[in-house]
Chain A
Amino acid sequence: MFVRGLKRKCFDGEEDIEGTLAGIKAIPSYNLQRQSLLDMSLVKLQLCHMLVEPNLCRSVLIANTVRQIQEEMTQDGTWQMINTQSTGQASLDRLVSTDILCRSSRDQAEGKHVPPYSTFSKDFESDQAQDGSETMSTASSVQAPRNLQSNMWEMENPQDNKGNFQKSLDQIFETLENKSPNSVEDLFSEVDNSYYDLDTMLTGMMSNTKMGHCDSLETFSSPTNTASNSNCKSDLNDLDHIVEILVES
């Protein structure tokens, strides 16, 4: 239906699914490719912000690619196909949330609140082995953290996102808003607005440049820092299928 003349790219060397199998199998395969490409891009963007000073050109190109995929996915109404069996439970064990990824050691020392905006899909490589129906990743706005409804994808196609995915998405936001009504405020209250300035982010002000890859991975694996953190963490555990991109609006 929407299979364009796209060449098979992600599976180099994989044989074409031809003839009789083309119909149904080709579609999720394309979805799979696209999803893994999206995941890969998100990881790259995340890693961008861990670097000393990310390459702006590269970041822009990756961000454009993500936008392109997202646009196509919303146009195709792919959300309907993308679903999990359990809407509440994150069947996306491959998606991991972390609120510490871009936390500077300086902030940790001061006990600053850092919004849990950095979540990303970790094991995207394992996607290829799974059916493409598990995709729940979404890019949320960081630029307007107080308004979670400004989730870019949701905003652009409020009508199209029907089906279970939208339900679960709503549940996510409900959870955020209802369960701990103040948590959202808590999450973002003390955040310096400059955090959301792409300019400063892309020039590395966001992530502490002293934090090398090892440091950030360490904090990633052991996010036990402040009380507010654990507060956020409990929310995040429920919501660990949200993927937020620092770069996206």
Chain B
Amino acid sequence: ADIISTVEFNYTGDLLATGDKGGRVVIFQREQETKSRPLSRGEYNVYSTFQSHEPEFDYLKSLEIEEKINKIRWLPQQNAAHFLLSTNDKTIKLWKISERDKRAEGYNLKDEDGRLREPFRVTELRVPTLKPMDLMVEASPRRTFANAHTYHINSISVNSDYATYLSADDLRINLWHLEVTNRSFNIVDIKPANMEELTEVITAADWHWFHVELCVLSAVFEEPEDPSSRSFFSEIISSISDVKFSHSGRYMMTRDYLSVKVWDLNMENRPVETYQVQHPSVPRVPCVPVAMSNTCPCPQVHEYLRSKLCSLYENDCIFDKFECCWNGSDSTIMTGSYNNFFRTFEREAQRDVTLEASRESSKPRAVLKPRKVCTSGKRKKDEITVDSLDFNKKILHTAWHPMENIIAVAATNNLYLFQEKVN
């Protein structure tokens, strides 16, 4: 199994898609509750697997283009088939996943195995009939949106009109129509005329649910900090790795290296910048965060890492891009951390819990035990010291079912699914 690079539930939560470093997409489907297997409800089993992207070679630049899937976004279901967008660094593809459980039999010109029948054998005309067959799930590429990004695509986001979507790379954001592959509109461009002056890149972009004109992008973000705590790493750790609008559309969540911040879009004099199509410049985000990382209800994710920033810079972990997600009701947010830990924060109740996704601690149907990282000198039982954290085990990608409390957590090349225990 390859390293999982993205995880995404569809709109109903019945399907869960994962993309990996090898360009494969694996889709899991939730089992329906049946009488014979009452406990199986909630289990996700493999539904479809296909190779979405292959490694390519850009001959002009003499570069290899990785096949790793950076993002998957589902489209809302409009007919029996499912559609999703998957993207690697350069190319976005629209895939159609359809089921086939019937097969036509009784063709006039073909045998059952497809060979052409001898003409003299055709003595009568018959109407082919549909016979049931084992369920087959087919994935076919319907559109390929290529050659629009010079830099690495880091985000795609479907608009609420379900007809257009945006794709963002390090310096530009393009707007596409799902039906049109040979043209896209560039709506944001922060590439400086002189690349020497480059100090910012786009790290994430998301489309707002209701207001089609609202779009947010995050770049290297300088936040006014207490000057005494400022260090050479301040800029790096305040760089936003993920941004997500809440389901309600009222809030926005950003993930930087050490914390998650929730922003209230209504609390500013004006909303987040409105980007018209082909707007030339990109102003900074003026929002004031509602909940800062230093205070509740959104405490730091792993503030204990602050003392280790130099080591983390040395081993490049400081550049890890963690994602974050909302639950269906926007009451809880979740994000990953190191040592296969992930954290959930209940905003109202001001409760947070650290859990671990590992084989040892995840027996099927067993309740997860909360974990704790020891920050002071004395380590209590069951606590883990900062120094014993495994920084190679990082949970970058998490997803929350849109309606229920089921979460998907990707730990390197394993996918964990956790469900709220219902008594």
* Contact surface of A with B, Cβ cutoff 8 Å: 4-7, 9-13, 33-34, 37, 40, 44, 52-53, 55-58, 60-61, 63-65, 68-69, 143, 197-199, 202-205, 208-210, 247-249
A208 touches B62 (CB 8 A): yes
Q: With A and B bound together, what is the CA distance between A6 and B306 in angstroms?
A: 12
A69 touches B319 (CB 8 A): no
Known: A57-B170, A203-B150. A65 touches B239 (CB 8 A): no
Q: With A and B bound together, what is the CA distance between A56 and B151 in angstroms?
A: 8
Which residues of chain A have C-beta atoms less than 8 A from B230's C-beta? 4-6
Does B34 count as interface, using CB distance less than 8 angstroms? no
Which residues of chain A have C-beta atoms less than 8 A from B159's C-beta? none
Residue of A11, A60, A248 with highest tally of chain B CB at under 10 A: A60
Among B44-52, B109-117, B196-204, the stretch in contact with A: B196-204
- Residue contacts A-B, CB under 8 angstroms, 21 given: A5-B227, A5-B230, A7-B306, A9-B308, A9-B309, A9-B310, A10-B310, A12-B307, A40-B313, A53-B89, A57-B319, A60-B198, A65-B236, A197-B195, A198-B195, A198-B198, A204-B63, A205-B63, A210-B62, A248-B196, A249-B196
B62 touches A209 (CB 8 A): yes
Min CB distance A76 to B, Å, is 13
B196 touches A57 (CB 8 A): no
Does B228 count as interface, using CB distance less than 8 angstroms? yes
A64 touches B235 (CB 8 A): yes
A56 touches B152 (CB 8 A): yes
Which residues of chain A have C-beta atoms less than 8 A from B227's C-beta? 4-5
Residue of B89, B231, B239, B307 with highest tally of chain A CB at under 10 A: B231
B195 touches A57 (CB 8 A): no
On chain B, the number of residues with a Cβ less than 8 Å from chain A's Cβ atoms is 41
A-B contacts, CB under 8 A, total: 105
A61 touches B314 (CB 8 A): no
B201 touches A205 (CB 8 A): no
Q: How would you classify the secondary structure of chain A's contact residues: helix, strand, loop or mixed?
A: loop
Residue of B152, B198, B220, B319 with highest tally of chain A CB at under 10 A: B198
B319 touches A199 (CB 8 A): no
Chain A's closest residue to B152 (CB) is A56
Which residues of chain B have C-beta atoms less than 8 A from A65's C-beta? 232-233, 235-236
Min CB distance A15 to B, Å, is 13
Q: With A and B bound together, what is the CA distance between A210 and B58 in angstroms?
A: 12
Q: With A and B bound together, what is the CA distance between A126 and B183 in angstroms?
A: 54
Known: A12-B311, A64-B199. A69 touches B232 (CB 8 A): yes
A52 touches B201 (CB 8 A): no
Chain B's closest residue to A125 (CB) is B314
Does B229 count as interface, using CB distance less than 8 angstroms? yes
Known: A7-B307, A9-B310, A40-B313. A61 touches B62 (CB 8 A): no
Does B64 count as interface, using CB distance less than 8 angstroms? yes
Which residues of chain B have C-beta atoms less than 8 A from A208's C-beta? 62
B170 touches A56 (CB 8 A): yes
Which residues of chain A have C-beta atoms less than 8 A from B64's C-beta? 52-53, 209
* Contact surface of B with A, Cβ cutoff 8 Å: 61-65, 89, 150-152, 170-171, 195-201, 203, 220, 227-233, 235-236, 239, 306-311, 313-314, 316, 319, 387
Which residues of chain A have C-beta atoms less than 8 A from B236's C-beta? 61, 64-65
Which residues of chain B have C-beta atoms less than 8 A from A56's C-beta? 151-152, 170-171, 201
Known: A12-B308, A198-B196. A37 touches B232 (CB 8 A): yes
- 7 smallest CB-CB distances across A and B, nearest first, come from A5-B228, A198-B195, A9-B310, A249-B196, A10-B310, A56-B170, A199-B195
Which residues of chain A have C-beta atoms less than 8 A from B314's C-beta? 40
Which residues of chain B have C-beta atoms less than 8 A from A203's C-beta? 61, 63, 150-151
Q: Which residue of A40, A44, A205 contacts B62 across the interface (Cβ within 8 Å)?
A: A205
With A57-B203, A68-B232, A203-B151 given, name 17 new contacts (CB 8 A).
Answer: A5-B228, A5-B230, A7-B231, A9-B307, A37-B310, A52-B63, A53-B64, A55-B152, A56-B170, A61-B220, A63-B198, A64-B220, A65-B233, A204-B61, A205-B63, A209-B64, A249-B196
Min CB distance B257 to A, Å, is 11
Chain A's closest residue to B234 (CB) is A68
A5 touches B229 (CB 8 A): yes
Which residues of chain A have C-beta atoms less than 8 A from B197's C-beta? 249
Which residues of chain B have C-beta atoms less than 8 A from A37's C-beta? 232, 310, 313
Min CB distance B309 to A, Å, is 5
Q: With A and B bound together, what is the CA distance between A137 and B200 in angstroms?
A: 26
Residue of A9, A40, A65, A248 with highest tally of chain B CB at under 10 A: A9
B233 touches A60 (CB 8 A): no
Residue of B150, B198, B231, B232 with highest tally of chain A CB at under 10 A: B232
